[in-house]
Structure 1
Amino acid sequence: MKERVVVFGDAIIAIILTIMVLELPVKYFANGAVNITELLRAIGIYFISFCFVANIWFQGAYSFNRITEVKNRTLVVYLMMLFTLSLVPSATRLLIEDTTRQTIIIYGVLTFIVTLISRRLNASLELQILNGQQRTRRKQELDRQDMFTIIVLVCLLIFSWFFVRTALIVYLIMPIMAFLQNMIDREENNFVDTLDQDEQNQYYQNRKEIVGNNIQRYGRFLRDSLKDSSTQNDPEKFQAVINEWQQRLQVDIAERKKQLANEMNPKEQHKIENELRNLDRMSQKLAQRGKFPPKRKNRGA
């Protein structure tokens, strides 16, 4: 069933992209020469829509690839997303024919709706393969991201009302940035997939200490994602992250030992001793990964 749903969606998106390029207008001057300026402008607007649709496809394809079955509710949301996405060619044509305040608002509202439906769809697909604390943590993170997305898109709609031409540039930049974000998320997921359940929980609890703040994390995983595809299954690919993780664990172990030496309360001593055992166990597990690299987990056909 999943394969048929994915093929159906791919076919719809291919048709959407084809319709958009077929509707590119070619305007002529009175002497029969092609109006190159208008043609380039039309191609630029088409490129905005192409990036937007391609990004939606990329998100969906990756999310569906991680699951094994499609639930009925997921199928309904996916069909709703395809329906709204199929309206993009018409909105693009309006924007090409007459780029006004009204047409860009129509385009902005449509992309706003498609983006929200797509994000909720991908969130439900991702949460489908998680459980326990991971599911709760990821749901909270996705909810925060969705709220931020809503605020940005609403602000962009308001901005579009006053600055039509500038808003077009912003609509071009957004899908490109979203595509890069997807690459980063995918690369981080590839790394997390190599961890066992305990390591995953530890990673998400201490992600900022292990890979740095958001900018550092984005930079690291973006560089990794742009490497040659032949390195995707290379066990040494994420070794730098593991090494930094081990270094961080050694710092934490040293701090806990110092606390234990100065702590006089038996209850606190017991607590610190448990933390030390957990940190030491995790450090040993990471050390073993270098000797016996784990196989990639398959989280969906």
Structure 2
Amino acid sequence: MKKVTFAEFGGPDVLHLTDAEEPHAGPGRIRIAVRAAGVNPVDWRIREGQVLGAHPVELPAGVGLDAAGVVDEVGAGVEGVEAGDHVFGEGSSTYAEFAVLSAWARIPEGLTFEEAAGYPSVVETALRVLREVGVRAGQTLLVSGASGGVGSAVLQIARERGITVIGTAGAANQDYLRGLGALATTYGEGWADRVRRLGPVDAALDLAGSGVLRELVALTGDPRKVISIADLGAPEFGVRFSGVPGSMPDALAEAAALVARGRLRIPVEKAYPLAEAAAAHIDSRAGHTRGRRVMVV
């Protein structure tokens, strides 16, 4: 099969589309013929060699955690799924023609493979940081870097829970944030003052790692009310860095339920063939994404 791999840590140029042995579903796992794989910042952070304890790497390594496709192998002990089912979930080395998943759910009706591949990690992350930051119905949450995949999920899930959201993003994404129910403002010089004019903030999330933690702590008045998923220097400000994943099966089930109720939809901004994995990482790292980027097979 074809698979994207890297043999050394480094820039996007270390990614190569290679011939590889097909993986097979062991006990408690399923294998899918991949139709699409989600592109997440953690993918290029791992490729760069950033220290991410939840994702140890042995070189040479594959790339990708999220995927959607058609089940073609079911491991021992797995029930409730069979060959031919359309599923989305999390596994390893998902930028490939076949991948083994450790957590999965049926793709909700109305979602394409490309759309479904963009949900697993971002919804798990959104649910986790909302829980960790402790924001409740009737309170106001500030989301820095709100137009990407995690931000898109956070805004919609928070709205479902009765939480007011202020989102920051580039000028081109202001209407997108408002369409998701957020109070929107741009980042850049004076952004914190623009947020203050929109109202008091009870908690904040840093989703972009753009050097805003000092201001987020000042806006909330308490570093314990700020969570970052993107700034490894967060502890210097007394802010928690949230890098350890929670329960993916629960997140997939909630994502499917929200989609089925019409309360969650994350658009795909751009899709790339496997041979253009390097371009996908360059674009992901540059930010300014509206929704998700995915690889297609």
**What range is the shorter-chain TM-score in?**
under 0.3
Structure holding more strand per residue: 2
Q: Which structure shows the higher helix fraction?
A: 1
What is the TM-score when the length of structure 1 is the normalising length? 0.25
Greater Cα radius of gyration, structure 1 or 2: 1
